[in-house]
Structures are given as C-alpha cells and as structure tokens.
C-alpha cells in the first residue's frame, strides 16, 4: 500500500531556437551543454531523450523540494516527470499506468538499476493505492477508498525527520535482491499488513493503530539485511519511541534519509525535543500524482 506526499520534483522541458550553440542543455546538480544524446552525463535525461528520439534543440531543467538520495523516490519521480513532459512535448496525453510503466522500463531495463517499481507507480498515480506486482511483470492498481477525516488525522500525526544523510540505494537493494529467496516469510508478513492498513484508512479502525503496524513492518524490514539500518538510525528511532511516537519506519531502501513516525499531536513537542538535532517536515498527502502544470506548445517556431 502506497501513499504519496506533497513534496515534488519538477521537470521543465523547453524548446530552444535552432541557432543555439549546443543542441542539448541539461540542468541538474550541474549544467551540461551537449550536441549529441550520447554525451549527456545524467543517465535518466540521456536515456529519456533517446527513448523519445529528441533531435530538436532542448533545454531540460530539474529541481526538487527534497535532496536526492534520501529515500523518498526522487529518481523515480524524475523518470516519471521527464516522460510526462516529453509526451507533452510531442502533443501526447497518456495514462498514468503508461507513465509509470515507461519510467520503469527506463530505469530497470535500459539503465539496469537494482530497484523496485513501486516508486514509479506512486509518483505517477499519487494518492493512496494498493499496488500488486505480479510474476508476469504486470502491475495492477487499486485505489484505496479512504475516509477523509481519517486521512486528515493521519496527516496531523505524521512526522518525517531528516537524518542528514544521502546515499546510493543501489548497493542496499542489490543485497536485498540476493537474500529475497531466503526471506520470503518476512516479505509475506509485510504484505499481509496491507489489508489492515486499508481497513484503518477506510474508517474501520483507529489511526493510532497505524503506529504499531509501522513499527512491526520496520522490525521486519530491518531484519532482511544489516545494510538497512545502523547504530545512528536505531538510536534516533529508539529516542522517538521513548518520547511518545507510536511507531515508525525508515523511508526508502535503507541506510539513511528520512525517519517517519506516527505521533499523537500532544506528544509531538516531546519527539521534536528528543530528536532536536534533526530537522523535520509534515508531509501532507498528494492526491493527483504526476501532472503537467504549465504547457505552451509552439512557443518556438
């Protein structure tokens, strides 16, 4: 079960005049000026432009609300947003399932990255959904019919604390992939938490019960491999629980990023004090997924 939050990665694709010095300008953590797609260093930008066979002069810029490598799916959001923008550049409108599937193909098949598909589908769809990943590689999406008051209460109870660490998740995910066959009991137990979570969000349970569910899922997740957690993460988690958090988990593959907790509003000052060396955000829930926010075709003739 997935929920998307109101922290965004933005992708701007802009046609340039034919007489610019270089055909491609790509702005990310650095600025690249290239004449050939093969020269582009950013792998997602390079393979996305190749996928759409973009030969006209283009400026591509990306910027984000959240640092990359912090477990909140930034690379998947970039892939989905770029594909959405490039479809729009061609005047095409496609389904969210197509956006997610093409982003998966870009990262998993073309770039051969060790990762799952869940972040691509979460970025494309937004809101609350149950994703089912089948053996034949198809994905089904079922929206959660949530109770608005429950979601608002959950929003008031969620806190994300930034550990100040950025990491490449590929090593953690590669190890997880290697041990998956031996840990199916753990993965099955985590999967079986989906229905209880859906019941709570649908109004047939208490928001406070989400805390213990997250706590149990985190204990299961961290048992998969020692790379998922570390002393720093474990210490911060314990401090938050002792201060009044009902439960939580580390977002993303592991090793760093954001710790998410369910905390009753009355105990939130205590948790903030206990983790006073860590900045925090209240995430808010997104209900729309990837979308075009500005569209101006034919600006360059």
- Which residues are the active-site residues? 119
Sign of CA dihedral 210, 225, 101, 37: positive
Measure the CA–CA gap between 79 and 82, rounded to whole angstroms.
5
Residue 207 sits at φ, ψ, to 5 deg, of -60, -35
DSSP letter at 5? B
Continuous segment of H or E residues that includes residue 227: none
Q: Are strands 258-262 and 31-34 parallel, antiparallel or unpaired?
A: unpaired
Measure the CA–CA gap between 177 and 116, rounded to whole angstroms.
10
Write out the two tokens for 200.
């709570």
**32: burial class by Cβ within 10 Å (0-12, 13-18, 19+)?**
middle
DSSP letter at 267? G
Measure the CA–CA gap between 262 and 208, rounded to whole angstroms.
8
Write out the two tokens for 142.
């079922």
């Amino acid at each position: 079960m997935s929920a998307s939050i109101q922290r965004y990665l933005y992708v701007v694709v802009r046609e340039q005049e034919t007489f610019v010095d270089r055909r491609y300008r790509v702005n990310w953590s650095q600025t690249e000026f290239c004449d050939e797609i093969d020269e582009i260093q950013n792998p997602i930008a390079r393979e996305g432009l190749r996928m759409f066979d973009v030969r006209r002069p283009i400026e591509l810029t990306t910027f984000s609300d959240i640092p990359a490598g912090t477990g909140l799916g930034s690379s998947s959001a970039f892939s989905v947003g770029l594909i959405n923008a490039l479809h729009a550049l061609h005047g095409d409108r496609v389904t969210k399932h197509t956006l997610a599937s093409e982003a998966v193909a870009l990262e998993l098949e073309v770039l051969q990255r060790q990762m799952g598909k869940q972040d691509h589908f979460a970025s494309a769809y937004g809101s609350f959904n149950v994703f089912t990943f089948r053996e034949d590689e198809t994905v089904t999406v079922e929206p959660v019919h949530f109770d608005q008051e429950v979601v608002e209460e959950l929003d008031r109870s969620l806190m994300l604390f930034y550990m100040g660490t950025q990491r490449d998740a590929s090593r953690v995910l590669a190890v997880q992939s290697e041990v998956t066959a031996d840990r199916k009991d753990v993965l099955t137990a985590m999967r079986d938490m989906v229905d209880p979570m859906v019941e709570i969000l649908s109004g047939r349970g208490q928001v406070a019960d989400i805390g213990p569910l997250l706590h149990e899922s985190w204990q299961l997740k961290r048992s998969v491999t020692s790379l998922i957690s570390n002393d720093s993460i474990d210490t911060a988690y314990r401090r938050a629980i002792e201060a009044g958090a009902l439960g939580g988990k580390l977002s993303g593959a592991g090793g760093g990023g954001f710790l998410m907790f369910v905390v009753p509003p009355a105990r939130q000052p205590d948790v903030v004090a206990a983790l006073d060396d860590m900045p925090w955000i209240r995430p808010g829930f997104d209900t729309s997924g990837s979308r075009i926010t500005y569209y101006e075709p034919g600006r360059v003739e």
